[in-house]
Structure 1
């Protein structure tokens, strides 16, 4: 089942939502955006309006191979303080499903208790809110430890998305996606690598 869930609230970061949706869908992965607000119409942290695919209470957890939490401080804190979101993350972790978060999003994973004894990263100002039993990584843009992948922030969202595609679909699909989005040109001309 190649179906992935993105849990969202008002105030999540635009790039961190839409880039992951775009890259996963380009790779043929079905993505559902689930709103934790009162309806499906939401605003990003940059006041971009968009519509989620379904309401959080409509989620059928068994349909999904994993979930992703975008950053944007207000949105991430809203998700962090939502007990239903925390319970879903715990359930997915117990089942060994993929969990991912970026920027301020890792604080949501932290509250769920899934970062214990894990390597993780986040936006630098979130470091003090991360689990002290884990290992905070501040010299990598994307960190994967077991079933959990975390990223630094908006500018590297495409690399977190590529990592998720690699985990779900493999390296060949990543290479196709890198060509289609011209990552390969960036790597060739500027020396950046994934």
Structure 2
């Protein structure tokens, strides 16, 4: 069984988290049955976009990286307080521990900024939200990241992406890395892609 930690900041984007839950659950039910997603947050209750309340299964203080194979991080909205959690020492510690263990880390959109803040992308390639005035790309670069303005960037064990539009591709890429390209293609076809 491959266990994936879904690291959720308060103010996370509902859609970006849902692609991980949906794709990995399709794999459990219709694919090779090898992926289990566990939600995690800094708080006992999180409020995400759309004002939905989510109760994570684990707190960041309870995470044992040795029990997991990958880390998934959706982005979120600054106006919902996303960066308060995403830039916290607890988040950074979880991220660094996954990277030091060589585990796969997949971040969607501004979820990559939490990777930048943690230091794991320093000197490596990555991307983040690229629309508007480009300020998020500048923020990522300020963390020492070699910013690549592409929809999806993979540097070793780390996947980053440029917008919510890339979210499903990140989830499918993570599934392929955890299982196989053939299994991922099977799930894509069953989901209508």
SS at match of 2:178: helix
| Count of aligned positions | 180
- The separation in 2 between residues aligned to 1:78 and 1:66, in whole angstroms, is 23
Separation in 2, partners of 1:90, 1:35: 16
Comparing 47-56 with 87-96, which one deviates more in the overlay?
47-56
Residue pairs, 1:1-194, within 5 angstroms = 1-28=1-28, 29-37=35-43, 39=44, 41-74=45-78, 76-124=82-130, 125-131=135-141, 133-138=144-149, 140-183=150-193
Would you say the 8 A contact 2:107–2:160 is kept in 1? yes
- TM-score, reference length from structure 1: 0.86
TM-score, L = length of structure 2: 0.86
Structure 2 gaps, min length 5: 29-34
Provide the C-alpha distance between the structure 2 equivalents of 1:48 and 1:80, rounded to a whole number of angstroms.
Answer: 18
- Check conservation: 2:41, 2:56, Cα contact below 8 A: yes
Alpha-carbon shift at residue 94 of structure 1 (Å): 1.2
Does the 8 A contact of 2:116 with 2:145 survive in 1?
no
Q: Describe the superposition over 1:145-186 as per-residue Cα deviations: whole angstroms up to 9, x where unpaired.
A: 100001112222111100101111110111111111111xxx
Deviation string, structure 1 residues 33-88 (Cα, Å, up to 9, x no partner):
11211x1x322122123332222222222111121211013354123331121112
3-state SS in 2 of match to 1:46: helix
What runs of 5+ residues in structure 1 fail to find an aligned partner? 184-194
